[in-house]
């Protein structure tokens, strides 16, 4: 199916909506004995241990989350230590907790249901202390496993239609999603979760990249088959979702494309039985690009998403990125989705700073010029000092919040967030909404991948900004159409993409 046949994305989105009715009549139950292992394990390869001794970087977490892109003309080649840090603070195991049924190894970035279906791979040229190759990152033993030896940068650059940052990147991190590992709980909705859960990882990766002063860029325009083949993926189970270029070489990659042979490596099956939900594979294949020229044309020209001029009262945000001194490493180490919120207010400055940090630009090939966004910030405020409780929309170009309707919407928030207590008790709920029509018209079905991924990154940035303020946050799911109805008429024609609640988190309880 072609990327241009955008009925595919509309259909998938429609089919996977939650409503009060659909959730209550759903017979699905969790088959715990068949729960997938949250790690990909290659049985025949030897681990290359990654170093674990780092000083914290000096740039504060808040600056690292909301930077301008680094433009340097010099060479900037990360070493193994840098790579280890980038991988640890974006997808490493940072905490472990025991509970009656076993143990959860929590990662550096939140993931729906703690199922951790996103894997990271590294494609690099020779680094000071790591030979050129294609590697899989294994968070379980904090090691790399070499899948291929040699310089395969050209393959990635070719797949992207010679995207400029990839032509000079000594390191490329490729993120994949393994369907069953999330579909065990969420079934066909997993394709949305691929975007969210890949996004939270990318929020961390981009922030750590900035803290290490490495030029970074998120690339979504690439020929899927070429990248999947490079990683030797079984595409019925696992697919490449996104990639990030890291660092800069003095010269562009120039070697001819390397021959990519199948590896036939065995990875342990995640469960005894896997259930197939074809809708997510159909959706993915409809987002695929098939030629380098298609990838080149796919980049840039982001459709304008500026909201209409405010008609209601406005409040100017008052962000203070200098107030929280934590490094990005400290913020990540303190992380953990809030399982309960204390019903008390956050300050206007904290709130402003979290929104400001999330709404700064992301260096990405589908967000041009730098600073534009596919998603809109619609917010229900319950308890923010000096701000009336009510529903708002953010105007990012001048950092103003427009009041859409005033009132106490705690119980409405609880309902919209799938009838959970978390959104009712939070100080505020940020709903990411998007105009799918203009996005899909410009980017085809792959625009759906982009908009979900961007929402995950924006949510991930709010998570990080909340930790830096010693506050809490959690991703949440929602009744799609009821959210749009609540924010209408302003939100008419938009779709609900993601929800994030924030506030004073209470001491963590275990399972969600
Ligand atoms: C995109 C996303 C959606 C989530 N949805 C819910 C939810 O609806 N209800 C809930 O209690 N927790 C939700 N969570 C929280 C996860 O359950 C939590 O991230 C997971 O258990 C891992 O814990 P950690 O975030 O502390 O690492 C969500 C998290 C993310 C990232």
Domains 29-257+266-294 and 314-505 share a fold: yes
Index of the ligand 1 atom closest to the CA of residue 196:
1
Q: Is the bond preceding 474 in cis, omega lying within 30 degrees of 0? A: no
Q: What is the DSSP letter of 425?
A: H
DSSP conformation letters of 455-500:
HHHHHHHHHHHHHHTT-EEEEE---HHHHHHHHTTTTTT-EEEEEE
Tell me if 195 CB under 6 Å of ligand 1.
no
**Rounded Cα distance, 127 and 132, in Å:** 7
The whole-angstrom separation of Cα 367 and Cα 340 is 34
Q: Whose CA is nearest to atom 27 of ligand 1?
A: 110
- Nearest-CA residue for ligand 1 atom 22 is 114
* Ligand 1 center from residue 476 Cα (angstroms): 6
Nearest atom within ligand 1 for CA of residue 110: 25
Cβ(16) – ligand 1 distance below 6 Å? no
Q: Residue 510: its pLDDT value, please?
A: 46
Residue 114's closest CA among 181, 191, 16?
181
Tell whether ligand 1 has an atom less than 6 A from the beta carbon of residue 474: yes
**Fold (topology level) of 29-257+266-294:** NADH Oxidase (3.40.109)
Answering whether pTM is above 0.75, one says yes
Q: Is 113 in the pocket of ligand 1 (CB under 6 A)?
A: yes
User: What does the pLDDT profile of the chain (512 residues) look like in tens digits?
Assistant: 799 999 999 999 999 999 999 998 888 899 999 999 999 999 999 999 999 988 889 899 999 998 888 877 889 999 999 999 999 999 999 999 888 878 889 999 999 999 999 999 999 999 999 999 999 999 999 999 999 999 999 999 999 999 999 999 999 999 999 999 999 999 999 999 999 999 999 999 999 999 999 999 999 999 999 999 999 999 999 999 999 999 999 888 777 657 899 999 989 999 999 999 999 999 999 999 999 999 999 999 999 999 999 999 999 999 998 888 899 999 999 999 999 999 889 999 999 999 999 999 999 999 999 999 999 999 999 999 999 999 999 999 999 999 999 999 999 999 999 999 999 999 999 999 999 999 999 999 999 999 999 999 999 999 999 999 999 999 999 999 999 999 999 999 999 999 999 999 986 544 44
**What's residue 507's pLDDT?**
65
Gap from CA of 510 to ligand 1 centroid (Å): 11
The C-alpha atoms of residue 494 and residue 12 are separated, in whole angstroms, by: 16
Question: Atom 7 in ligand 1: which residue has the minimum CA distance?
Answer: 476
Substitution site in 112, 181, 457, 505 for ligand 1 pocket (most atoms within 8 Å of beta carbon):
112
Edge-first strand listing for the sheet containing 47-49? 47-49, 143-149, 133-138, 118-124, 171-178, 238-246, 216-219
476 lines ligand 1 (CB under 6 A): yes
Q: Where are the domains of the chain?
A: 29-257+266-294, 314-505
Number of the ligand 1 atom closest to the C-alpha atom of 418: 8
Give the number of the atom of ligand 1 that is nearest the alpha carbon of residue 460. Answer: 31
Distance 508 CA to ligand 1 centre (A): 12
CATH of the structural domain 314-505, one choice from 1.10.3720.10, 3.40.109.10, 3.10.28.10, 3.40.50.2000: 3.40.109.10
pLDDT reported for residue 343: 81
Let me know: does 215 contact 158? Beta carbons within 8 Å.
no
Pocket test for ligand 1, best of 93, 109, 110, 336 (most atoms within 8 A of CB): 110
C-alpha closest to that of 260 among 155, 391, 389: 155
For residue 473, report the distance from its CA to the centre of ligand 1, in Å: 9
Q: Is the CB of 125 under 6 A from ligand 1?
A: no
Integer Cα distance of 300 and 221 in angstroms: 10
**Rounded Cα gap, residues 69 and 369, in angstroms:** 12
> Is 420 close to ligand 1, i.e. is its CB under 6 Å away?
yes
Distance 155 CA to ligand 1 centre (A): 35
Q: Helix or strand or coil: residue 321?
A: coil
> Ligand 1 centre and the CA of 113: distance in Å?
6
Q: Name the nearest CA neighbour of 324 among 68, 64, 500, 91.
A: 64
- Residue 111 alpha carbon to ligand 1 centre in Å: 6
Q: Which residue has the tokens 């939900």?
A: 277
Tell me, using a 6 A CB cutoff, whether residue 337 lines ligand 1.
yes
Interval between CA 410 and ligand 1 midpoint (Å): 20
Token look-up 């005033």 returns 406
The CB of 512 under 6 Å from ligand 1? The reply is: yes
Q: What does the CA dihedral 488, 447, 168, 233 come to, rounded to 10 degrees?
A: 130
Ligand 1 and 60: CB distance under 6 A = no
The answer to whether residues 474 and 399 touch, using CB atoms and an 8 Å cutoff, is no
Contact 200, 337 (CB under 8 A): no
Closest alpha carbon to 502 in 470, 469, 463, 453: 463
Return the H-helix or E-strand segment holding 178.
Answer: strand 171-178
Minimum-distance ligand 1 atom for the alpha carbon of 512: 11
């Amino acid at each position: 199916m072609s990327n241009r046949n955008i009925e595919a994305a509309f259909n998938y989105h429609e089919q996977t909506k939650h409503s009060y009715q659909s959730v209550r009549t759903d017979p699905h139950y969790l088959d715990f004995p068949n729960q997938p292992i949250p790690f990909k394990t290659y049985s025949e390869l030897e681990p290359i241990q990654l170093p674990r001794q780092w000083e914290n970087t000096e740039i504060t977490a808040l600056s690292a989350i909301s930077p301008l892109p680094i433009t340097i003309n010099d060479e900037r080649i990360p070493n193994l230590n840098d790579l280890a840090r980038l991988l640890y603070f974006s997808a490493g195991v940072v905490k472990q907790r025991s509970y009656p049924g076993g143990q959860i190894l929590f990662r550096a970035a939140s993931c729906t249901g703690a199922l951790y279906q996103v894997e990271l791979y590294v494609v690099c040229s020779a680094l000071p202390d790591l030979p050129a190759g294609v590697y899989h990152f294994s968070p379980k033993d904090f090691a790399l496993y070499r899948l291929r030896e040699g310089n395969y940068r050209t393959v990635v650059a070719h797949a992207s239609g010679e995207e400029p940052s990839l032509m000079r990147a000594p390191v490329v991190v490729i993120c994949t999603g393994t369907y069953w590992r999330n579909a065990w709980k969420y079934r066909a909705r997993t394709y949305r979760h691929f975007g969210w859960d890949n996004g939270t990882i990318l929020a961390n990766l981009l922030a750590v990249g900035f803290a290490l002063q490495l030029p970074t860029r998120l690339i979504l325009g690439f020929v899927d088959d070429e990248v999947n083949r490079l990683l030797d993926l079984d595409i019925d189970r696992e697919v490449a979702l996104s990639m990030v270029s890291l660092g800069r070489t003095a010269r562009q990659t120039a070697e001819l494309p390397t021959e990519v042979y199948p590896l036939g490596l065995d990875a342990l099956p995640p469960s005894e039985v896997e259930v197939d939900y074809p809708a997510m594979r159909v959706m993915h294949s409809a987002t695929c690009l098939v030629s380098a020229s298609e990838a080149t044309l796919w980049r840039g020209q982001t459709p304008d998403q500026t909201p209409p001029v405010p008609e209601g009262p406005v409040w100017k945000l008052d962000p203070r990125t200098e107030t929280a001194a934590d490094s990005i490493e400290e913020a990540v180490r303190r992380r953990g989705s809030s399982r309960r919120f204390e019903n008390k207010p956050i300050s206007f400055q904290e709130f402003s700073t979290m929104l400001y940090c999330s709404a700064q630009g992301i260096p990405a090939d589908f967000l041009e010029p730098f600073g534009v966004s596919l998603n809109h910030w619609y917010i229900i405020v319950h308890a923010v000092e000096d701000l009336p409780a009510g529903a708002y929309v953010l105007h990012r170009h001048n950092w103003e919040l427009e009041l859409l309707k005033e009132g106490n919407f705690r119980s409405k928030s609880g309902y919209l967030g799938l009838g959970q207590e978390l959104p009712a008790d939070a100080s505020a709920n940020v709903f990411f909404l998007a105009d799918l029509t203009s996005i899909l018209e410009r980017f085809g079905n792959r625009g759906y991948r982009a908009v979900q991924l961007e929402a995950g990154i924006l949510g991930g940035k709010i998570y990080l900004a909340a930790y830096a303020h010693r506050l809490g946050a959690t991703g949440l799911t929602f009744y799609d159409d009821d959210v749009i109805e609540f924010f209408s008429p302003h939100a008419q024609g938009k779709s609900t993409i993601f929800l994030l609640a924030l506030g004073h988190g209470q001491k963590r309880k275990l399972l969600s």
